[in-house]
Homo-oligomer: A and B are copies of this chain.
């Protein structure tokens, strides 16, 4: 089972080898072809084709530092970091409209920038000793000048899964979602557990459904703020539900036909499908066999 997923396919060469190489970084900063991403807070600008808009390093705002993303087509690419600003988990309606228009590779590049900038802005101090930290590794880490601890951007693995029982799949909805929207259950992988164990624990906690035989389907980055979404399908041992109402407002078992209607946007679909750039959409598509 394979799935096309959003936020993937960015053509960025991350050039990990150069992050610790001051000469390479200086050369990249001095390269007249260097590009700087246009950001408005944490949000991107896109053109009519859904492509990210870039400018030159000369436009780096005063007080901002350039984060070295890597190379695209041989040209160094940077993102601006303004440490003073804090945007929290702002996700404007305009942003989700933009994501709907962006090809997966552009969304993937944006995901990288957004998670990186957001992480810096929320991690200006050393969690080990409380001292203000400094940027290093060309923007891919922070270092404490007092205790010398090094800190790296955080990527949180999240399982997102369909429990399957007699040809139907389990979907849930949270109260804050658009009316009618249902999606796959999901939750953070905790320390000391495997992907398979996290799938079983979360499905049991949220819906009271025990599962086995967890199968991996696909993965995607999700930059709100920096998750790695890991999509799976598992066999449920029964279909009776006991909801954790702190997590889910409702949960339903849907047939492949109902899921197909929802994915196709049918007016009389039983539920509203998650947007195409979310891996829950790809997971449902993989499950119905399209």
Nearest CB in chain B: distance from A210 CB, A: 13
The answer on a CB contact under 8 Å between B108 and A8 is: no
Cα A219 to Cα B130 in complex, Å, equals 34
The answer on a CB contact under 8 Å between B111 and A192 is: yes
Q: A149 — which chain B residues lie within 8 A by C-beta? A: 122
The answer on a CB contact under 8 Å between A115 and B14 is: no
The answer on a CB contact under 8 Å between B128 and A130 is: no
The answer on a CB contact under 8 Å between B8 and A112 is: no
The answer on a CB contact under 8 Å between B153 and A10 is: no
Cα A205 to Cα B15 in complex, Å, equals 8
Q: A132 — which chain B residues lie within 8 A by C-beta? A: 130
The answer on a CB contact under 8 Å between A191 and B155 is: yes
The answer on a CB contact under 8 Å between A17 and B205 is: yes
Oligomer: number of copies: 2
Binary contact track A129-145/B, C-beta < 8 Å → 1, others 0 = 11110000000000000
The answer on a CB contact under 8 Å between A125 and B128 is: yes
Closest to A131 in B: B130
Nearest CB in chain B: distance from A15 CB, A: 9
The answer on a CB contact under 8 Å between B116 and A123 is: no
Q: Is A239 an interface residue (CB 8 A)?
A: no
The answer on a CB contact under 8 Å between B123 and A125 is: no
Q: Is A37 an interface residue (CB 8 A)?
A: no
Q: A156 — which chain B residues lie within 8 A by C-beta? A: 154-155
Among residues 214 to 251 in chain A, which have CB atoms less than 8 Å away from a CB atom of chain B?
Answer: 216, 218-221, 223, 226, 228, 230, 244
Closest to A204 in B: B13
Which of A109, A155, A218, A226 has most chain B Cβ within 10 Å?
A: A155
The answer on a CB contact under 8 Å between A196 and B219 is: yes
Among residues 4 to 40 in chain A, which have CB atoms less than 8 Å away from a CB atom of chain B?
Answer: 5, 7-8, 10, 14, 16-17
Closest to A225 in B: B191
Binary contact track A164-198/B, C-beta < 8 Å → 1, others 0 = 00000000000000000000000011111111110
Binary contact track A148-161/B, C-beta < 8 Å → 1, others 0 = 01011111110000
The answer on a CB contact under 8 Å between B155 and A190 is: yes
Among residues 82 to 133 in chain A, which have CB atoms less than 8 Å away from a CB atom of chain B?
Answer: 108-109, 111-113, 115-116, 119, 122-132
Q: Which of B5, B128, B191, B197 contacts A123 (CB 8 A)?
A: B128
